[in-house]
Amino acid sequence: MNEEHFLEFDEYLQGEMSAADKLVFEQQLRDQPDLAMAFETYKELQLHLENKFGQADELKAFKQNLKGISKKHFKKSKTKVVTFKPWYYVAAASVAVLFGLFFLNQNSDPTFEDYNQPETAFFTERGEANDNLKLAQDAFNGKKYKEAIPLFETILKTDQSAEIQYFYGVALLEENRLPEAESVFTTLKMGNSIYKNKAIWSLALSKLKQKDYKTCKELLLTIPEDYEGNDQVDDLLEELD
């Protein structure tokens, strides 16, 4: 058996076949129901891959991997057009599906971007610090975190509230200033404010961003069931298992 049994499917779908080979292949699809069924299976896998990988180079990497595997396990035929046997179709499609699933599973680790949903900041009137608070609020909500950070630092000189610390920590996290962000969240984690569990969640996200899945999971397990964002906690724990 050779790899062209199913790589032809990809060549056809990508428009890489010569006109003559395309005509022969299409006639084979009409004449051989088993081949047509395998082709449909391959097309379905192709759709799943395209949905999984947004970047063309990632899909290309998968296909190159598949071609390499097929060359290792199947002997190449001397001719392009061969007589197909039913079990070949099933085997070829199965190889594509199995290695497709394997590749997807290898890339199924959760990412920071999957769970990163900073909440909107809304600060109430706070006297003399009000002007800076408004500027910090607008910068944060506009995702201008680099601009928001020094504003928060100015505010924190006179206002050490858990709310300001929390949003300051999130801005640091978004700017990849992870040690500083974790220091802020750890302080909140040790307290008893309403931002305690939000801080633990943010610490977990910081570990997720660093691909430290073990510590991320350990942190998530300390968040109580009544946490308002518990659905996300459960979802991430499930992906980490």
**Rounded to 5, what percent of the chain is helix, strand, coil?**
70, 0, 30
Smallest CA-to-CA distance from 73 within 98, 45, 53 is with 98
Q: Name the more confident of 27 and 153.
A: 153
Percent of the chain with pLDDT over 70: 69
Q: What whole-number distance in Å separates Cα of residue 189 and Cα of residue 182?
A: 10
Above pLDDT 90, what percent of the chain?
A: 47
pLDDT in tens, 191-207: 999 999 999 999 999 99
Phi and psi (nearest 5°) for 210?
-90, 5
Tokens of 33: 């129901």
The first and second tokens of residue 160, run together, are 């050490």
Contact 49, 59 (CB under 8 A): yes
Average pLDDT score, the chain: 79
Give pLDDT, residue 109: 81
CA angle 237, 239, 241 (to 5 degrees): 70
Does this model's pTM top 0.75? no
As given in the structure block, the two tokens for residue 19 are: 């006109």
Calculate mean pLDDT across residues 82-97. Answer: 48
CA distances from 104 to 29, 111, 168 (A): 28, 14, 36
pLDDT band for position 8 (cuts 50, 70, 90): confident
Domains and CATH numbers, the chain: 4-106 (no CATH), 112-240 (1.25.40.10)
